[in-house]
Structure 1
Amino acid sequence: MVDFEAPYAMDGTRIPAEGLRRQLQREAGTGSGVVRPGDLRISQLDVPGTGVKIAAGDDLIQSRESGRGRETYGIPLLTAQNYMGDGGQGIPGTGSTATRRDMIIHEILDPIFAKTYTPRDQWPEGATSKLSVVPGVPATAKTVAEVPALAGVTAYELAAINWPKSTGTITNAMLEDLRRLQSPRTDTAVRSINLTAAGTGDRVPITDTQPYPGGGQTYGKTGGQTWPVEAETSGRLDIAIPDWANYMAYTITWSQLSVLSGNGNAYGNMWLQVGANVDPTVWRGEASSWDIAETAGSHTMMMRVADTNFIPANLRGRTMRFYPRVNLTGGKSAASPRLTWATSFDLTVTFLERAV
């Protein structure tokens, strides 16, 4: 007879903890991480001192015990709490001779484990998991897998403390966030405009010479032109920003642009704008530069701008128009790239959910 464990689920059976941990991993997926963006964030104490504050939330920690990699632990912390190191005496600082990097981990204390970071005789009474500080980890370590002292230990990295010399007080400037979402959500929107089909007039240059308005939410400033103008048309570049998205990665590409010879050099900026100039929440990405190949004679060129940016909270959950914007900062408009009947334009935006 082959001895299977009790099934999940059947009346009258006792489901072993191993079976529930395996089921949790099937539902959540492999890997470790926090459940929501703000969960278990480590920050300085309200009055900076020798401890840290940990935000409420949940994490999922995949077992690193030999033979148990298909099991995952789910652990909630219901209220924010202060952590003053084991014994409550504070996290030791540094002397005058050297800097140090420590790692703050959330460690599982399961009696079945062959190895834990905290010695078994030092486990807090009744505790099933705990915060621990691992001192002197490698300078490049960002995960428990990169710390030799944590080999085989079932734990998850929350933050690093980068100690300067002669320091005993922990501040946010010293804390490095190591959290990642265990199952982050993503969503990608792709918008394309073929200017042959759109009917754009032949050879439309860049004419706007107003300065780039600056990145971020810079309401009240203007500058630049929407290029191609078809992007102004309702619906073409209207994109719903998910309410869970706190970052976006985007790429704007203009291809098969025409440059005519004999007009000298020209150069300028290109950027993404979310929302119209009259919208109080208008947002602009950082500018990239374009520059023609002045000595190449008449030719075609491509322009591209790409970046990853934080999404302000007041844009999430809204449908916004995404504008490709350009300006001319040097040279003559006659020398700038031109949209033609052969030009294509595309915008790709991937919305991301990250720990914050």
Structure 2
Amino acid sequence: MAFDPVPWATGGGAKHSPEVARTDTYGNSDGTEGIIKVGDLKVVPLDVPGTAVNVNPGSGRALNRHPGHAGETYTLRNATATEVPIASTGSGAGRSDLIVARVEDPFLQGSPYSPPADVEVGPYVFARVISNVPAGTKRLQDVSGHESDTGITLARVDLPASTGTITGAMITDLRKVAAPKQHTQPLFYSLVSGDTETLTATGENGEVWPNASTNSWGNLEIPEWATHAYIQVQWNSVFVPPGSSYGQMWLQVGGTGAGAPLVTQRSNWDSPNSTGNTRMVFALADYRSIPASLRGTSQRVYPYARILGGTSSTYPTINASSSCQVTFVFQQRAV
């Protein structure tokens, strides 16, 4: 096959093919597909729930799946909220519908779509309902008969029987960010000679452990785009005397005590019942959403722990041989 005669972007009034333009979009976006910003094209109930949903404003990219057009991408935009009617269910059974943004280009060879009355203004992209899909469906192209559709999946609406009013509880968000960002930030604190901290708190609020008198950790720099994070905390070389004790540990960001804006799950530790001193690693991992109030800010981290049981002679201690590390893997997801 010969080259397309006009490469992007030739001057002098040369006429470029839409295929070349779509190829440029594909290359500039690394072949990714989905919404552009995390809040784009979200499907929500009507302000007064009824027999329709709204697709919020936003933009996205859709890979061209028409045969013979691999490596091409459409860019689509929804300037204002678009209302999409949803058919009611009868008394016999419920139903699942997909809400998608589909590009319907009639100018591709073998296209099933017809040109609009005004080819200059279209429309060529629509919010469509793909009705009665299998339960749990997450992608337009997984539905039989729609494998070659060019479009991005926005949501699934799961209607019970005898239902016409769509509520938020019936909507499952299926949007994906086309090119999500990711950033890893590790923080580390090492105790120095003479430092010794024995975990003694038994109350629900626990204690900061290790409790650096200054912010020896450095600050956690939370990207503006970060919506979620994988969080790992590890207490290394914890000294545990003979006997048995057990407790919990967790991490707080942005504040101490109750009411911190970001708190991980509480993970348990349990020291062995031994006859000699033991060095252990305490660790936890969690996945949390980042509150909007923390995005784009610089925050301190506070590792917490508490004793749930055991005797004071067996409580764990950190000293100059110990360290603590916190790792955040920030992610960007649809919200």
Q: Which residue of 1 aligns with 2:202?
A: 209
The structural deviation recorded for 1:143 is 1.2
CA-CA distance at 1:334 after TM superposition = 2.6
Candidates 136, 139, 144, aligned match of 1:143: 139
Does the 8 Å CA contact 1:205/1:333 hold for their aligned counterparts?
no
Structure 1 match to 2:329: 350
State the partner residue of 2:104: 109
> Where does 1:187-266 land on structure 2 (aligned, <5 Å)?
187-195=183-191, 198-199=192-193, 201-202=195-196, 204-211=197-204, 223-230=205-212, 232-262=213-243, 265-266=244-245
Distance change in 2, residues 1:69/1:328 (3 Å): same
Gaps of 5+ in 1: 85-90, 212-222
Q: CA deviation at 1:75?
A: 0.7
Letter in 2 for 1:109: E
2:94 to 96, 99, 124: 99
Instruction: Write the distance in 2 (CA, Å) between the matches of 1:3 and 1:285.
Output: 55
> Which residue in the other structure is 2:297 paired with?
318
Structure 2 alignment gaps of length 5 or more? none
> Is 1:166 matched up with 2:162?
yes
Structure 1 position 330 matched with structure 2 position 309 = yes
Alignment: residue pair count: 331
> What is the DSSP-based 3-state SS (H/G/I as helix, E as strand, rest coil) of the residue aligned with 2:19?
helix
Please say if residues 256 and 302 of structure 2, whose CA atoms lie closer than 8 Å, have aligned partners that are also in contact: no
1:272 to 246, 251, 256: 251
Q: 1:5 to 1:281 in 2, by over 3 A?
A: farther
Identity of aligned residues (%): 33
Q: Report the alpha carbon displacement of residue 100 of structure 1 after superposing the two structures with TM.
A: 1.8
Task: Measure, in 1, the Cα distance between the counterparts of 2:162 and 2:91.
Answer: 5
Q: CA deviation at 1:280?
A: 7.5
Could you give the per-residue CA deviations for residues 39-74 of structure 1, whole angstroms, max 9, x where no partner exists? 000011111111101110001101112232211110
Q: Is the 8 A contact 1:137 1:147 kept in 2?
A: yes
d(CA) in 2 for partners of 1:227 and 1:113? 64
Structure 2 residue aligned with 1:176: 172
C-alpha spacing 1:200/1:40, structure 2 compared with 1 (3 Å): farther
d(CA) in 2 for partners of 1:340, 1:115: 72
User: Does structure 2 conserve the Cα–Cα contact (< 8 Å) formed by 1:292 and 1:336?
Assistant: no
The farther-off stretch of 235-244 and 9-18 is 235-244
Aligned equivalents of 1:268, 1:114: Cα separation in 2: 67
Deviation digits for residues 149-174 of structure 1 (CA, Å, limit 9, x no counterpart): 21111111000011112211111100
- Cα drift, residue 299 of structure 1: 2.5
2:141 partner SS: helix
TM-score after normalising by structure 1? 0.85
- Equivalent of 1:157, from 153, 157, 163? 153
The equivalent residue for 2:318 is 339
Specify the alignment match of 1:219 in structure 2: none
